[in-house]
């Protein structure tokens, strides 16, 4: 038996889970607000040109975290909530973190003059940034996997609030973009205050790693790489298409502001994956499929409403918060609708993870990535609009493909 049973817990533990869930939701919401305040305060203080290297560091970290590190977090949660105890694949996790760090620094080196103001110190910060968030993701995976939802929520809050407080203090002291970028690293280290790996070496003793861990991670990372290329690589692609740094910063801030639901959801999915896993373990596949259809249908309706809202009010909202970063109305509308679809797709894919269908997950996102690439190849608009339309096409395709994959998945 595992340390904690599947999330059908006895009455004595249900109150703790309920309290922990509340703390997780509250902590995630506060963390999201603090992240946005960081962008508003630092972006307005530095301006679009000086803020550009920080936006690039943020984008690279976000891509690596959601592509490589979130699979480690989510598979750790699923492993710890399985009915059969398995040891953590520490060697695989370590190799992934080191490889991701090297790849990020290499990309930074190749684009140093174009994206990072030609300052090699940004490469040092980038290395520590990726290493720090590799540990952060693993730590949160163990907290959620052991149903320590309160600790998960508070540590998520602390990461974002510490970054904001440090940035505000450094700005008040007159520190520039390079110094502010150090705060991105500091937030990731707070996870260790909660000792997330406490007792894991003892629990792993005598247990074997799950068969096929490397293959499962590989397909999961392929899926997330495709998904995050669509959702988060926009500023990098806009820059690569020849847009000036000001346009890159406006694109980054616009999509960041409308990414609020998705940003919050990256932490909340840690709460829905254990019960989805429990439904699979119980063989309750019909109810799980019905839930997936309901999620997709509701998400599509909300996305249409989000597009209308973004078209009417989105550009003004961005300008109200960031006076120097007003986007075109279409850019704001696409950001609102596309991020809604991305949020829905994120919850939809938790069903496939619970079903251990990571190959279908990867296939769905690869099809979506192809759809986005075709738009970039054949749309002749300016870089920002071109990349935004590709993003919307990719997210719509992904939601359809994920739902089909769930409905056609054969379960024993």
Answer whether 306's CB lies under 8 Å from 337's CB: yes
The arithmetic mean of pLDDT across residues 24-36, rounded, is 84
Give the per-residue pLDDT at 187. Answer: 87
More confident residue, 180 or 77: 180
Give the per-residue pLDDT at 7. Answer: 42
Residue 9 has pLDDT above 50, yes or no: no
What tens digit of pLDDT does each residue of 345-395 get?
988 988 888 888 888 999 999 999 999 999 999 988 888 999 999 999 999
Say how far apart CA 300 and CA 394 lie, in whole Å: 14
Say how far apart CA 388 and CA 176 lie, in whole Å: 30
Answer whether 369's CB lies under 8 Å from 390's CB: no
The arithmetic mean of pLDDT across residues 313-339, rounded, is 89
The arithmetic mean of pLDDT across residues 235-244, rounded, is 83
Residue 263 has pLDDT above 80, yes or no: no
Say how far apart CA 383 and CA 350 lie, in whole Å: 33
What tens digit of pLDDT does each residue of 212-231 get?
567 778 887 888 888 888 88
Residue 337 has pLDDT above 80, yes or no: yes
Give the per-residue pLDDT at 213. Answer: 65
Q: At what angle do helices 213-232 and 90-110 cross, to 10 degrees?
A: 30
Question: What does pTM read for this prediction?
Answer: 0.71
């Amino acid at each position: 038996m595992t340390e904690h049973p599947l999330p059908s817990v006895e009455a004595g533990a249900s109150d703790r889970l309920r309290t922990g869930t509340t703390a997780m939701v509250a902590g995630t919401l506060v963390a999201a607000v603090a992240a946005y305040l960081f962008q508003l305060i630092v972006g307005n203080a530095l301006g679009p040109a000086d803020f550009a290297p920080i936006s690039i560091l943020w984008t690279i970290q976000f891509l690596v975290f959601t592509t490589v590190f979130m699979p480690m977090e989510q598979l750790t949660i699923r492993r710890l909530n399985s009915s059969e105890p398995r040891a953590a694949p520490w060697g695989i996790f370590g190799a992934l973190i080191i490889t991701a760090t090297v790849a990020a620094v290499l990309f930074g080196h190749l684009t140093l003059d174009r994206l990072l103001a030609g300052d090699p110190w940004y490469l040092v910060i980038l290395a520590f940034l990726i290493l720090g968030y590799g540990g952060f993701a693993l730590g949160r995976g163990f907290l959620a996997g052991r149903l320590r939802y309160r600790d998960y929520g508070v540590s998520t809050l602390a990461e974002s609030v510490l970054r904001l407080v440090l940035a505000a203090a450094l700005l008040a002291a007159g520190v520039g973009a390079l110094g502010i970028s150090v705060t991105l690293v500091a937030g990731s280290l707070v996870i260790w205050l909660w000792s997330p790996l406490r007792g894991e070496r003892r629990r792993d003793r005598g247990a074997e790693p799950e068969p096929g861990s490397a293959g499962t991670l590989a397909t999961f990372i392929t899926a997330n790489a495709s998904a995050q290329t669509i959702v988060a690589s926009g500023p990098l692609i806009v820059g690569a298409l020849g847009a000036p740094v000001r346009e890159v910063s406006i694109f980054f801030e616009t999509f960041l502001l409308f990414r609020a639901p998705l940003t919050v959801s990256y932490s909340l999915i840690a709460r829905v994956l254990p019960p989805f896993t429990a439904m699979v373990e119980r063989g309750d596949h019909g109810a799980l499929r019905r839930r997936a259809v309901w999620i997709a249908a509701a998400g599509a309706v909300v996305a249409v409403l989000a597009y209308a809202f973004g078209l009417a009010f989105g550009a003004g909202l961005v300008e109200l918060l960031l006076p120097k970063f007003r986007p075109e109305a279409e850019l704001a509308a696409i950001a609102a609708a596309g991020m809604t679809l991305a949020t829905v797709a994120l919850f939809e894919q938790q069903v496939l993870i619970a079903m251990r269908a990571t190959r279908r997950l990867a296939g769905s996102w690869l099809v979506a990535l192809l759809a986005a690439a075709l738009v970039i190849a054949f749309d002749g608009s300016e870089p920002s609009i071109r990349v935004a339309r590709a993003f919307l096409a990719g997210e719509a395709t992904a939601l359809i493909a994920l739902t089909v994959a769930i409905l056609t998945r054969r379960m024993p």
